[in-house]
Structure 1
Amino acid sequence: MKMKAFITAFLSFGSLALAAVPGFDISHYQPSVDFTAAYNSGARFVIIKATEGTSYKDPKFSAHYTGATKAGLIRGGYHFARPGSSSGAAQANYFLANGGGWSGDGITLPGMLDLEGDCAGLSASAMVSWIRDFSNTYHGKTGRYPLLYTNPSWWSSCTGGSNAFVNTNPLVLARYSSSAGTPPGGWPYYTIWQFNDSYKYGGDSDTFNGDITQLKKLAKG
């Protein structure tokens, strides 16, 4: 499903009380995760670090991905961006070759591009171009646009508050607070909110902005 259509479908629920689906995200910093306990506690999705730049593969990705699948969680991979080291296309292809792919099986989330840290010496326009290069390359290979993970400060500093991705890429908002606040970049809402960095079963706590049916639609495409 294209993002514009997803937004339309999502906003059609505007008069209803929207549900929230718990989830979490992890990397090798969580070497052992009890996925079954997480599922039994209510979690229904997990986003797992796969790659960084064009040379790093998370050593726990495969084990985490298998464990999440066996526990019945909807799962996907994420790529930690290194915009100063190589092109967006090169990093998207590396991500795709090392766990970041997508298939319409209903249990695989589109890959996520993790945008945080410094601006890697890029101007706002150059950063927007880099993200677009990654995003379009990923879309060209999978038919899906990647999720974009960012926080308001980074997005403002590094892209100048660009709204270039509002109609294509779902937003994963990082904001450790009791409320999500106003999304950056003109997004009308967040798709996933990472609201703290302490999850009982390891990693960061996330919530999907909708019900389980909508989460499955995001995975299905």
Structure 2
Amino acid sequence: MPANSSRSPHRRRARSGTAARAAALGGTLTAVLALVLTLAVPASAAQPPGPGERIQPGEAYMGVGTRIEQGTPPGGDRDGGTLAPADTSGVQGIDVSHWQGSINWNSVKAAGIDFAYIKATEGTSFKDSRFGANYTSAYYAGLIRGAYHFARPNYSNGATQANFFASNGGAWSRDNQTLPGVLDIEHNPSGAMCYGLSTTQMRTWINDFSTTYRARTGRDVVIYTTASWWNTCTGRWTGMSDKAPLWIAHWGVSSPTVPSGFPTWTIWQYTATGRVGGVAGDVDRNKFNGSMSRLLALANNTA
């Protein structure tokens, strides 16, 4: 074999190796550049599913069923609504879940938000992936905060879900910054409005959740709902009027409609398209029915 023939395979391999190393280096540089660009651009919140979209277990958020009832508030939408809040006076709050992504809670506090409710659990097994980070960071930013449970009455009885909630974020302590937990019970986002339960069955479910939660925490649970859902699915039940503070959801109005059986509202979710510094995109805005001293009384169980 000619001398140059014996060396050519090595030269080909050398050139091949050089090309491979160059390609690898190019790929590394591309990856590094992509990482730099990713870090340079602030992460935005994911887009939650809305009415008519399939809601998977764990994807529900406060107000998802209310959208089915009330639709998008006039003047805005969940993709960047411009609806002016009904009343930004007084003690203001927000509610969040993993859909809001990473939140700068110091900026939220600086924007004039005094309290926040944070999704902890849903049904019988789902735990919100950002609950721990949100709950802790909101505390250190100086907000009065609490946890909420998205009810799935067709998954189990009320006691089972109350125990799951109390064991996974819904507990309470008198530390001047922890609000009692919330039972978020609204229009089923995945099926029949009342989850296939009769009014009698729904009353039993809510009562079992409330009784179990109080036994676990020493506090009465706050109920988040709408007048339409409550009146329809519980049959205008008055059984929680002297037990549970009411968090009413009613958007785009100057005053909320209170469901039968409750004397007044404690918290009012007045829009689902609000904007707050420190939160990417829209966020639910809420108003407390009272002064800061009354909010602290609710937190410390001295009301």
SS of 2:269's partner is: strand
Per-residue CA shift, 1:13-45, capped at 9, x if unaligned? Answer: xxxxxx730000000110122211221121110
1:68 is the counterpart of 2:148: no
Counterpart amino acid of residue 137 in structure 2:
G
Q: Which residue of 1 aligns with 2:252?
A: 177
Instruction: Choose the corresponding residue for 1:29, options 99, 116, 121.
Output: 99
Query: SS where residue 237 of structure 2 aligns?
Result: coil
Matches within 5 A, 1:147-186: 147-186=222-261
User: Offset of 1:135 from its aligned partner?
Assistant: 0.3
Alignment of 1:110 onto 2:185: no
Q: Secondary structure at the match of 1:29?
A: helix
Looking at structure 1, the residues matched to 236 and 258 of structure 2 have their Cα atoms a distance apart, in angstroms, of 10
Aligned positions of 1:188-203 closer than 5 A: 188-201=263-276, 202=279, 203=283
Secondary structure of residue in 2 paired with 1:188: coil
1:146 is matched with: 221
Superposed CA deviations along residues 38-86 of structure 1, whole A, max 9, x for unmatched, are: 2112111000000001110000100111110111000000000000110
1:220 aligns with 2:300: yes
CA distance in structure 2 between the partners assigned to 1:35 and 1:70 by the alignment? 8
Q: CA deviation at 1:162?
A: 0.7
Greater share of strand = 1
1:205 to 262, 282, 285: 285
Determine which structure has more spread, i.e. the larger CA radius of gyration: 2
Q: TM-score, normalised by structure 1?
A: 0.89
2:201 aligned with 1:126: yes
For residues 134-186 of structure 1, the C-alpha deviation after alignment (integer angstroms, 9 at most, x for no partner) is: 00000011111100000011111111111110101000000002323331022
CA distance in 2, matches of 1:168, 1:131: 12
Instruction: Decide whether aligned partners of structure 1 residues 199 and 32 sit closer, same or farther in structure 2, where only a CA change above 3 A counts.
Output: farther
1:64-103 aligned within 5 A = 64-103=134-173
SS of 2:95's equivalent in the other structure is strand
Structure 1 residue 116, shift from structure 2 partner:
1.0
The percent of aligned pairs where both chains have the same amino acid is 48
Contact between 1:24 and 1:199, CA under 8 Å: does it hold in 2? no
- Give the aligned CA root-mean-square deviation in angstroms: 1.1
Partner of 2:86: none
Asked if 1:57 is matched to 2:127, the reply is: yes
More RCO (CA 8 Å, sep 6+)? 1
Runs of at least 5 residues in structure 2 that lack an aligned partner in the other structure? 1-88, 188-192
- Aligned equivalents of 1:29 and 1:142: distance in 2? 27
- Name stretches of at least 5 consecutive residues in structure 1 with no aligned partner: 1-18
**1:47 and 1:72 mapped to 2: Cα distance?**
14
Letter in 1 for 2:218: G
